[in-house]
Structure 1
Amino acid sequence: MSKEALDLAMEMGKVFNDLDEEAARKYIGAEFVDHEAPPGTPGGPLGYLGTARWVHSAFEGATWEHLDSFAEGDRAVLRLRFTGKHVGDFLGIEATQRDVDVEQTHIYRIENGLVVEHWGYRQDLLMLSQLGVIALKPPARPA
């Protein structure tokens, strides 16, 4: 199933990059769970599409570029580069008009030909630094 899992995971780009509702309904199962989403976020294809729309409302030109991927069994892993300009509220952070450029890792589980689970891992500290919310300082070198 590895090839099928990878192919389906790659289709998620149509949902997030293109906000393609048809792709969401075609490739995402009704019981889909996004383990990365904030509590109370609806599941299923329209819930995942709603998350994509929300990110696009916060980041102008939001794009996820494929960097690397692999699959094993019923799971596929994608390493992506996320870029965009922060123009709207994002997790309580008002628009900064700053550009972000971070890597993300997304894991998708496939069941019966549909994506049914998602886990995501992002460079959140780097993003917050790029938004000017926090300052990242390298650790002090021992004397």
Structure 2
Amino acid sequence: MRDEHSLAERNKATIRRVFDEFVNKGDFSIVDEIYRPDMIDHQPLPGAPAGVPGVKHTIAGLRAGFPDLHVTIEDMSAHEDYVVIHNTWRGTHLGDFLGAAPTGRAITSRGVVVWRLADGLIAERWGIGVESNMLAALGMRRLGRRSRAGRPAENAGPSAEPAVNVLPLLPGCEGRWRTLRHELASTRLREYEESRRRTGIVRESFWLRRAGETDVVIHYLEARDPRLAGRRLRDSADPFDTWLRGVATELHGLDPWAELAGGATPAVHAWTVPVELVQDAPR
């Protein structure tokens, strides 16, 4: 237990350096020290190359567009090789940013970021909301996914609040976990979607990743009120909800939605998302 605590604290300290020294102060010299050369950023700025050069490209572009850029970490949690943060980005658009001329507009952007470290170095990054909120503040956006009916998904959904949990996967359960994902996407899809509509969950994703010697599942969802959604799922007598709670408890040794009801790793902001249920993001 002490070793796990030390690993989590070491990884959290590394992520703090990303913002305290690199992003906020512009000290690019630490990048080669704390990132793996083959680091994968799943949400870089457009045009960023792969690996560490892409990390430098992204932050250089942000600092050029927003010279007073400053990021505040609002909340942070860690489980083995994973660190989850909720942060706030603030800056004034005083320089060129993705081809947009300076507007002088002060922006505030909030989001969730999941980091994976390997041997103490940053190996992967997933950003949720940070960049899209910055673009929206400047009247810009990426091309969105399309709905099942083929229509753009923009403006399809209500305001929702994201939340993230990192869940241990019990030994020997990977096969059952993959079977569950397949069932939710096929034979039990209708029940699953109806359950999420009842409880106010507008988006839910599960990523299976390796953390040290164990597997973990990153559980991400967006709901109008994540804690209320968790309470509804925890207390529901609906046959599907009861079945899913039981399977989840077998896989993780706990009920993820009961954890959510208790406020596990809640996000601290709200943003608009499309109404869709996402179950991709391969291992």
The interval holding the TM-score normalised by the smaller chain is 0.7 to 0.9
Deviation at 1:46, TM superposition (A): 3.4
* 1:21 to 2:28 alignment: yes
Report the CA distance shift for 1:59/1:24 in structure 2 as closer, same or farther (over 3 A). Answer: same
Deviation at 1:38, TM superposition (A): 4.1
The answer on whether the counterparts of 1:2 and 1:72 sit within 8 Å (CA) in structure 2 is yes
CA shift for structure 1 position 47 = 2.4
Asked whether 1:75 is paired with 2:77, we answer: no
Q: Structure 2: where are the runs of 5+ without partners?
A: 1-6, 142-154, 159-283
Higher strand share: 1
| 2: CA distance, partners of 1:126 / 1:50 | 19
Which position in structure 1 is the counterpart of 2:39?
Answer: 32
Deviations 1:10-56 (A, max 9, x none): 12112211221221111011011110014652233332122111101
Which residue matches 2:8? 2
- Largest Rg, 1 or 2: 2
More relative contact order, 1 or 2 (CA 8 Å, 6+ apart): 1
Q: TM-score, normalised by structure 1?
A: 0.81
Could you say which structure has the higher helix fraction?
Answer: 2
Alignment-mate amino acid for residue 16 of structure 2: M
1:104–1:21 distance in 2 versus 1, CA, 3 Å: same
- Please point out which of 35, 44, 49 is paired with 1:42: 49
**Number of aligned positions between the proteins:** 136
Comparing 33-42 with 74-83, which one deviates more in the overlay? 33-42
**Amino acid in the other structure paired with 1:21:** F
Q: What amino acid sits opposite 1:122 in the alignment?
A: G
> Which position in structure 1 is the counterpart of 2:198?
none
SS of match in other structure, 1:10: helix
Aligned match of 2:62: 55
Change (3 A) 1:34 1:124: closer
Post-superposition Cα deviations, 1:59-101, rounded to whole Å, max 9, x if no partner, equal 1201111211111121101211111111223234322111001
